[in-house]
Amino acid sequence: MILKEEILVLEGKLIKGIMLENRQHMTVKLLNYGAAVVELLVPDREKKSENIVLTHEKIGDYLKNPSCFGVTLGRTSGRIANGSFSIDGKAYTLEKNFGVNHGHGGLKNFSHQIWDYKIEQKEACTTVIFQYTSKDMEEGYPGNLEVQVSYTLTEENELLIEYEGVTDKKTLCNLTNHSYFNLSGNYRRKVTEQKLKIRSDQFLELNENQVPTGRFIDVTHTPMDFRHLKRIGKDIESDYVQLRRTNGYDHPWILEGKESQIEMIDEISGRKMSVSTTYPSVVVYSYNYPNQEKLKGGKVGSKYDGICFETQYEPDGINHAHLHQGILDVGERYDHKTLFKFTTV
């Protein structure tokens, strides 16, 4: 396993980059600003390694990063309706940074923080452990929340992300990674040309403000049915009210099973990604609203250049009694894992 570290000074901030590479020439490049995945190089069926996530042209662009390339989001990922919630009868008000809603933890969420980190090396894998303490009432959330996000690269071409947290006051915690995947390599083809399978019979309906209504919809006979491997672009432009509301896919699917709940394949390169998670749902976002990001390699990001698999509790669960509330209590430990495994077909 190859390990490299570099020190970067961006707008007066001391930021560090970490690179891990295994014997199969799979490489992950991380940044302690936002505990972010910057690049992920994965071999194709000809053993040619190329980047399979959207990457900013300049490392300094991660300081703004309006589309949240590669970052860790928290305290909560997704939207919270009207920027408000209650715990044990006490109401909390959050920044409405997503229209009338709170989104992805606020304006100064975890993606805009410099994380501490340490590295653990073993013979079969190397782990980078990022740590951050979110102070009581930061972005409106109660409690001092200590979180840890670990990235482990194995010799079996797996990237394991582990989320942990403890709090000194009952609070919300719902962490995810926001990498945009494109298995074609160096984003040479749209993800709409690639295939996707999701082990899910239901998704959550979204209202006009793109917040879950709490209603589950059966995927049968809808464009949201990915129970069998399907080209991502096959139904994405369908005249379906849920897709019109989000300009593409941006919905929570309720996951079935315990492993390989998500599979993505690029048949031309032969790359296959299998995603296994302990979370109950995944928000799939097909980069419907690009922000003219300049990508590494000289390309300007455009619609459907990447796709996110935001494994998490259901967004806005705190405001729906029948969904996962996302509450972390004193004495409990937040503990979730998402594994990305790369093979070829």
Which parts are annotated binding residues for beta-D-galactose?
178-180, 250
Strand, coil or helix: what is 191? helix
Q: How many whole angstroms separate alpha carbon 232 and alpha carbon 181?
A: 13
Strand, coil or helix: what is 241? helix
The amino acid occupying position 264 is M
Only one residue has tokens 């690179």, namely: 19
Q: Are 22 and 1 in contact (CB under 8 A)?
A: yes
Token output for 113: 């923080």
Q: How many whole angstroms separate alpha carbon 203 and alpha carbon 318?
A: 17
Residue list for the binding site: 178-180, 250
Is residue 310 annotated as part of the catalytic site, yes or no? yes
Q: Which of 178, 251, 320, 336 is catalytic?
A: 178
CA angle 43, 49, 50 (to 5 degrees): 115
The burial of 13, by beta-carbon neighbours within 10 Å (0-12 exposed, 13-18 middle, 19 or more buried), is given as: exposed
Token output for 205: 């309906």
Q: Which of 21, 138, 310, 314 is catalytic?
A: 310
From the list 298, 281, 25, the residue with the least C-alpha distance to 174 is 281
Query: Mind telling me the catalytic residues?
Result: 178, 310
